[in-house]
Amino acid sequence: MRCKQCESILWQQPAAPDGGERRCSECGEPYRTTDFQFVPGKVRFECPHCATGYYGTSPTGHLEPPIFRCVTCEKVISMDDCILRPEGVANESDAERRLLIPWLDQGNILARWFNTTVVGVDSPQSIASRLSGQPRYFKAFGFLFTQVVVSVSPYLCCCGFAWGLMLIPAGGGPGGGIFLGTAAATVFLSTLFAIVASLLAVLFARMVSPIGSPSFGRDVETVCYSSGPLALSVVPVLGNIGVIWWFVAAAVALAGGRPPGGRALVGVAAAAGFILPSIAAIVLFVYWG
């Protein structure tokens, strides 16, 4: 178990005094036990008052229930307050289940793209917990750009086919250059919209975020990797549902990186951040159209 900011080891660190938030002893980054997943039965959760040990039985290796009364000292304790020690493993890292963003792995780029898309569609709430270390903006925005290109590709294919049919009777002409210019403008404007909407969603979410929330860079990464639903736009019958689905997935992803008490408000704020640029885009389209 390592700090998601500086990779320092967090095993066996004592709970914060007076119920405060836990922080990495090296860089001061706040964290919660629930930010990590463990191999069931391989982590000892010690009561911070009497050191009585408990073992997680949930699929994520967490205690069930997460808040309970210690059987020895009879004090009410939370899983986030316990001291964690790996047990029964050769290496400490073997006690933790590390779920990563597939896009950041090595290997076939199509497989990495597809698997990351599935994460955004199926479990966006887990994205923040899959990220660690310093934010890697280039890779995150690279994935978002890829999703944008995939989402507009049906429109570009239809436009190219129609343009070709119109040029056949005229015996060809400069239509190829015009189409390429139109395609480039479409990709540029779509990418610009995606970036602006993402940043607004992050800013709105951070305005209402509780203490212990991820950094700005981590939130930006989270929104970018939640864009998996955009790929659904390649299915003709879905239309813009993929875009709307992304808005929802991003709000869920940002909320999932927050403490339980502030998730609902963060999700609503993030959704509002997406709605504003969407309204502006619709107004501009109607006006210029």
What is the rounded distance in angstroms from the CA atom of residue 201 to the CA atom of residue 12?
A: 36
Beta pairing partners, 2: 9
N-to-C CA span, the chain: 54
Same domain, 75 and 135: no
Q: Report whether pLDDT(253) > 60.
A: yes
Same domain, 29 and 159: no
8 A C-beta contact, residue 212 and residue 259: yes
pLDDT of residue 225: 96
Same domain, 109 and 89: no
Inside any domain, residue 4: no
Residue where a domain stops, chosen among 82, 97, 112: 97
Same domain, 48 and 106: no
What is the rounded distance in angstroms from the CA atom of residue 64 to the CA atom of residue 58?
A: 7
Inside any domain, residue 216: yes
* Entry pTM: 0.68
Maximum alpha-carbon separation in the chain: 89
Q: Identify the domain containing residue 51 by its residue range.
A: 17-97
Region 272-283: what's the mean pLDDT? 82
Region 9-17: what's the mean pLDDT? 80
Tokens representing residue 73 in the block: 């000292």
Same domain, 115 and 41: no
Q: Which of residues 60 and 4 earns the better pLDDT score? A: 60
Of 97-106, 156-165, 266-275, the one with minimum mean pLDDT is 156-165
pLDDT of residue 16: 72
Same domain, 127 and 231: yes
Instruction: Tell me 2's DSSP state.
Output: B
Inside any domain, residue 236: yes
Tokens representing residue 176 in the block: 């190829």
Residue where a domain stops, chosen among 97, 113, 147: 97
Q: Which of residues 2 and 191 earns the better pLDDT score? A: 191
Same domain, 168 and 275: yes
Count of structural domains, the chain? 2
Q: Report whether pLDDT(161) > 70.
A: no
Region 260-287: what's the mean pLDDT? 81
Inside any domain, residue 1: no
- The closest alpha carbon to 225, from 107, 108, 105, belongs to 105
Same domain, 78 and 140: no
Same domain, 129 and 170: yes
Same domain, 131 and 199: yes
Inside any domain, residue 7: no
pLDDT of residue 171: 47
Inside any domain, residue 132: yes
Inside any domain, residue 11: no
Same domain, 25 and 148: no
User: What are the DSSP calls for 173-191, one per residue?
Assistant: -THHHHHHHHHHHHHHHHH
Inside any domain, residue 238: yes
